[in-house]
């Protein structure tokens, strides 16, 4: 499908790529995702034993295929708020002996039919890596050490032999571990002050690294930049835990509010502020402690989430239902453009944001949707994530952008264009967003230093209706379109971006 830009005015912008402006070598963990025992993410999402495509473990293979296409790498599990009430022992051993528990976080019933070992087998199908979270809300150091032993010790101890007896001979060898979840949030079971959490996280991290010094540990940062303790929380927690941990987490969700599309399209400005604030705070603590180490950021929850609307609904209630439909946002073209822009921001800060997890993966604020017994399909947000994960290789380059601005109520004047570039020395990719609601923008990109000679792919996500969505009734209403008129001539790439669009161009 191709596009015509005749009905809109055309502005201009310039992007220059400096081969020496390297942000970082790409770590594939920047393309991670998140599976939580919440709503229909696990049950009737990735796991549905009665589905025609289900394998012997009950996993939907149509969903597995979409996850592989999406290109998600590291998967954070099992939460999220869920983890603060999680007893990992409930989730292993014979399925018919596993207890049914109440999940206080989302007021639903948890059958534990999918647990640690099953989830690892699902990851093997998708080619993804497990990023495990431990419960520091209602449990603590001992439970974390037991889970670590069960998962990672080869054999010869009580818990490792229990794993083997449960049918998993080889250790899971999980390298990245989250020390709790959103412990600053009063909605979190067992939430605590920064001082109390920082001390607990430090002791837990020290003990886990005594068991395996090469683990990578993520300490909880703020649940969002709007939290009243934002910044001070990071400082206090890191003053306790700095030398024991490797990452501090960041969580951020965005949505259009009050019909203010202009501000919504500039949401990545807030993500940039979030990252810069956490980096400055972490480096302040490091300097204060005279440490040579730099703390990395794990942006292990980020997405579009219409939280205001869910708060006004009664979908999270006290009926204690099994796998209820919760947080099933249906995303528009505008949502996908914003998500693509957030990915650009993560890449432009990849020197410090070394890991990220799109929250979540299936059904719950997710790029993939399913119907029980029926189809699985791609949401609009699927496309910028899958294309970026596939095309971004080698090093991230931060380009110089010369473009006009537009006025927003929330962020003041915002640039009309955003962009990032990646290259592996032979191939390159240019990712671009046009935030204008009215104008197509002709962008000239100076790629002369990349040594590229041809355009191998040019796609855009754009539609006359910025609120067009893919639904159960119309699963392919929105998709990628060919971006015509892309010209590479003498080291200059010329492309016209439709209004409210995300685009990707592959060069060879």
What does pLDDT average to over the chain?
A: 96
The gap between the terminal CA atoms of the chain, to the nearest Å, is 23
Report residue 3's pLDDT band, with 50, 70 and 90 as the boundaries.
very low
pLDDT confidence of residue 311:
87
Active site residue 182: yes
pLDDT digits (tens, 9 = 90+) for 299-339: 999 999 999 999 888 888 889 999 999 999 999 999 999 99
237 vs 380: CA distance, rounded Å: 37
Tell me which of 110, 129, 301, 395 is the catalytic residue: 301
Q: What is d(CA 181, CA 185) in angstroms, rounded to the nearest whole number? A: 9
Please write the tens of the pLDDT for every residue from 171-189.
Answer: 999 999 999 999 999 999 9
CA atoms within 13 A on the CB side of 86: 28
Catalytic residue among 36, 48, 110, 182: 182
- Give residue 263's pLDDT band: very low, low, confident or very high (50, 70, 90): very high
What pLDDT shows up at residue 275?
Answer: 98
Q: Which residue has the tokens 């191709």?
A: 2
DSSP symbol at 2 = -
Shortest CA distance to 204 belongs to which of 144, 130, 132, 135? Answer: 144
Residue pair 124/145 in contact (Cβ under 8 Å)? The answer is no
What are the structure tokens assigned to 374, written together? Answer: 């029926």
Q: Which residues contact 327 (CB under 8 A, 6 or more apart)?
A: 38, 39, 305, 310, 315, 364, 365
C-alpha span between 217 and 232 (Å, rounded): 21
- pLDDT reading at 427 higher than 60: yes
Q: Judge whether 420 and 396 are in contact, CB under 8 Å.
A: yes
The yes-or-no verdict on residue 1 having pLDDT over 70 is no
Contact criterion met (CB below 8 Å) for 234 and 174: no
Q: 253 forms bridges with which residues in the sheet?
A: 303
Question: Element (H or E) spanning 210, and its range?
Answer: helix 194-211
Q: With contact defined as beta carbons under 8 Å apart, do 177 and 215 qualify?
A: yes
> Is position 149 annotated as part of the catalytic site?
no
Q: Which domains does the chain have, with CATH numbers?
A: 9-20+398-507 (2.60.40.1180), 27-391 (3.20.20.80)
Mean pLDDT for 401-410 is 97
Q: How many CB atoms lie within 10 A of CB 328?
A: 16
């Amino acid at each position: 499908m191709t596009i015509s830009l005749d009905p809109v005015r055309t502005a201009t912008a310039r992007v220059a790529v400096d081969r020496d402006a390297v942000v970082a070598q790409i770590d594939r963990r920047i393309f991670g995702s998140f599976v939580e025992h919440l709503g229909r993410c696990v049950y009737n999402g990735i796991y549905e034993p009665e589905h025609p495509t289900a394998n012997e473990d009950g996993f939907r293979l149509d969903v597995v295929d979409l996850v592989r296409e999406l290109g998600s790498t590291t998967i954070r599990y099992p939460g999220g708020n869920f983890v603060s009430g999680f007893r990992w022992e409930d989730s292993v051993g014979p399925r018919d002996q596993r207890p049914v528990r109440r999940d206080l976080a989302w007021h639903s019933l948890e059958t534990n039919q999918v647990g640690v070992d099953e989830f690892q087998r699902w990851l093997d199908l998708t080619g993804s890596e497990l990023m495990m979270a431990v419960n520091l809300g209602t449990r603590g150091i001992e439970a974390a050490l037991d889970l670590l032993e069960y998962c990672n010790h080869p054999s010869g101890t009580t818990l490792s032999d229990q794993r083997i007896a449960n049918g998993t001979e080889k250790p899971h060898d999980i390298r990245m571990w989250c020390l709790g979840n959103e412990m600053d949030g009063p909605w979190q079971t067992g939430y605590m002050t920064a001082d109390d959490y920082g001390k607990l996280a430090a002791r837990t991290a020290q003990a886990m690294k005594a068991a395996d010094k090469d683990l990578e540990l993520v300490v909880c940062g703020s649940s969002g930049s709007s939290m009243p303790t934002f910044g001070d929380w990071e400082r206090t927690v890191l003053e306790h835990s700095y030398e024991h941990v490797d990452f501090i987490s960041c969580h951020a969700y965005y949505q259009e509010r009050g019909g203010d599309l202009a501000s919504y399209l500039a949401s990545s400005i807030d993500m940039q502020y979030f990252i810069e604030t956490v980096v400055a705070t972490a480096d302040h603590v490091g300097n204060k402690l005279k440490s040579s180490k730099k703390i990395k950021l794990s942006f292990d929850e980020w997405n579009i989430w219409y939280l205001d609307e869910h708060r006004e609904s009664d979908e999270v209630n006290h009926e204690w239902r099994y796998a209820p439909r919760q947080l099933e946002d249906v995303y528009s073209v505008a949502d996908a453009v914003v998500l693509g822009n957030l990915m650009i921001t993560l890449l432009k800060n990849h020197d410090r944001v070394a890991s990220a997890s799109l929250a979540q993966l299936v059904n719950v604020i997710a790029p993939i949707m399913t119907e029980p017994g029926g189809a699985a399909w791609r949401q609009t947000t699927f496309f910028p994530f899958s294309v970026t994960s596939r095309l971004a290789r080698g090093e991230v380059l931060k380009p110089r952008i010369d473009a006009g601005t537009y006025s927003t109520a929330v962020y003041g004047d915002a640039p009309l264009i955003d962009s990032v570039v990646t290259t592996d020395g032979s191939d390159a990719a240019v990712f671009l967003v046009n935030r204008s609601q009215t104008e197509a923008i002709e962008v000239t990109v100076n790629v002369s230093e990349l040594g590229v000679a041809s355009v191998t792919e040019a796609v855009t996500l754009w539609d006359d209706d910025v609120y067009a969505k893919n639904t159960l009734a119309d699963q392919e209403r929105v998709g990628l379109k060919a971006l015509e008129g892309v010209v590479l001539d003498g080291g200059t790439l010329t492309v016209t971006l439709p209004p409210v669009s995300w685009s990707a161009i592959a060069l060879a």
